[in-house]
Amino acid sequence: MKKVKLTQKSTLTLKNIKGFIEREVKPFGTSARIDFPKEFIGKKVYVIIADE
């Protein structure tokens, strides 16, 4: 699997969003996954990685 390059920013502004869902990234074999409801299949989504 190829490595994804992160763009580091401290602010993000989005327009025309329907809402947001907070999920935890979980291990999946040698990778990771995020579960989302079926209603989002085919939709464009953004994943934001937050420092905690």
Number of domains in the chain: 1
Q: Is the entire prediction scored with pTM above 0.85?
A: no
Q: What range defines the domain where residue 26 resides?
A: 1-52
pLDDT at 8: 84
| 4 against 27, higher pLDDT | 27
Concatenating the DSSP letter of every residue in 17-39 gives ---------EEETTEEE----GG
d(CA 25, CA 32) in angstroms, rounded, equals 6
Segment 15-19 mean pLDDT: 85
d(CA 25, CA 10) in angstroms, rounded, equals 20
